[in-house]
Structure 1
Amino acid sequence: MTVKPIRVWLTPPGPNPWKVIFVLEELNIPYEIKSFAFAEVKKKPFIDINPNGRVPAIEDPNTNLTLWESGAIITYLVEQYDTAHKLGHTTLNEKHLVNQWLHFQTSGQGPYYGQMGWFNVLHEEKIPSAITRYKNEVLRVLTVLDGVLQGRDWLVGDKMTIADMSFVPWNDRLDDLLVQPLDETYDGLPHVRAWHERMAGRPAWMRTCAIRKGLMMEQGLLDATGMPEGYGSIQEYLADLKEGKVRG
């Protein structure tokens, strides 16, 4: 049976959509991207797809399923399309361990890294206590991963799964989030660094990055911040977003 392309709704700057593209590329599942501006994320037609107004979301014409939340999407893709179990496990314990780590990524890594980016990079007022809190949380997450990865290549079993892959897009932004060299961030954390680099060197991730770069360029976005050219601060950008007069 021919698989029809899955439509992926995304705005290019954020990390979460790229979990989905990474999995689609790794599994060679046909897809098409509906890329749109961040200014439209809380407007129709996207809020008809995801009433929460967050990317990514997918529409799968093969099953007539519309789905949002990146963790739910990549779990679905593996269950529905990974018939060879390339990125998952079939045994009871391993299936639930993959789910455990995926929940840790969506509830731990993503929110803490996001807050780190906001307070350390985007927020107009520098609040030392907030920056310290979220930097410590980023390092705590990395330390947890480094300890678990000592003596093993992957989080669950002997192969890369969606549990591992889900961490890549945010860890790929560590230098931007912490505004410090990666060598400094990874000092004393060799296992998590090697794990990330194993995945970042995969052809599927490199294709994912190339797609993201192209979509960012189409919208005239600065890679590190997701703002269009011509803005000096996120506050200027948000003010223009509110008034519907974004530059670029």
Structure 2
Amino acid sequence: MADSTAHPDEPVPTVVADGVDIVYRVNGASAGRGSATAALSRIMRRGPVEKASGTRLVHAVKNVSFVAYKGEAIGLIGTNGSGKSTLLKAVAGLLPVEHGRIYTDGQPSLLGVNAALMGDLTGERNVHLGGLAMGMSREQIRARYQEIVDFSGINDKGDFISLPMRTYSSGMGSRLRFSIAAAKDHDVLLIDEALATGDARFQARSADRIREMRAHAGTVFLVSHSNGTIRDTCQRVLWLERGELRMDGPTDEVMREYEKFTNVGRKAA
């Protein structure tokens, strides 16, 4: 997608979202108080819901447009159910777009807390499989293996890397996933709450690594409910609310308005 005739000083776009709508189709939804039904209800509150032939159409993202450039770290913020993770999955090509288009230059890589590593395999084996899945060679994985383990910190209190991942806490698992993904420079790296469960030292290392990836002309998108993490990591923020892009701009400016909004919401509640 990159224009080979562009001036070297001009910013190079890596992701273009043009009037993107994303719609979930939910069949046979019924009222209730179980966790799954409660989650569905939160999704429903994002916007208007249409019914067609017994199918509910949930408009999760509505007419969102933006351009991301090489070297940017972009935060995605918004209250629960605002469409942040949905938009990230669409950029990664994991969800279809109902209307509009998403264009990417390079291969987007989605890293989330629920990224699929195999619970019955050891952490060591998952490091090798995860590296291969990202396109690294076996030689590259071997060369970076110890760096990945040390970065994750999961061996700080024992030899956990040799244990099955199902024995890990959620924080240990998410730290290892980020460490595997961070071992490679990505064209576009999409991070969905993967840093939320790390301690302060891990979060600082992660922020440093994200800055390194930006320096290598990558683009990073970060979904986080931690305002501090967004401020420390991103120089630009997209604020989604009820599926709509409410604001797009410099981090301090957008976060100031977002915090006013959330503080008013808390007082009203």
Q: Same fold (TM over 0.5)?
A: no
Identify the structure with the greater strand proportion: 2
Max Rg structure: 2
TM-score, scaled to structure 2: 0.32
Of structures 1 and 2, the one with the larger relative CO (CA 8 A, separation 6+) is 2
Identify the structure with the greater helix proportion: 1
TM-score, scaled to structure 1: 0.34
